[in-house]
Amino acid sequence: MPMKPVLYTGMDLIRAREIVHSLPSLNALSDVDAESVARTIALCFAKGREQGLHQALQLFQSGEHPDPPWRLRDPPRRED
């Protein structure tokens, strides 16, 4: 079964670059190596998001999920 590539967003890459630049131990890396590390971190973000969405979809399709917290419930009725 072929694996489909995980796509990361520009925001994933921006966040990953911030992480790379914030770690003093990675300051010794060349620009090319630092970019490679940032892309790897961005792929981890994307893979985590993909797995979370997959789990949520499975839970939703199984019907075993609780009511989502954002679902509005009927407000209590006022008795006059």
Q: What tens digit of pLDDT does each residue of 3-46 get?
A: 777 788 899 999 999 999 999 999 899 999 999 999 999 999 99
In a domain, 41, yes or no: yes
What pLDDT score was predicted for residue 65? 62
Question: How many domains does the structure of the chain reveal?
Answer: 1
Q: Give the residue with greater pLDDT, 51 vs 3.
A: 51
In a domain, 27, yes or no: yes
Query: Looking up tokens 């954002």, which residue turns up?
Result: 70
In a domain, 43, yes or no: yes
CA atoms of 64 and 40, how far apart (whole Å) = 34
Q: Which domain holds residue 44?
A: 10-62
Helix 31-62 and helix 10-22: axis angle, to 10°?
130
CA atoms of 15 and 58, how far apart (whole Å) = 28
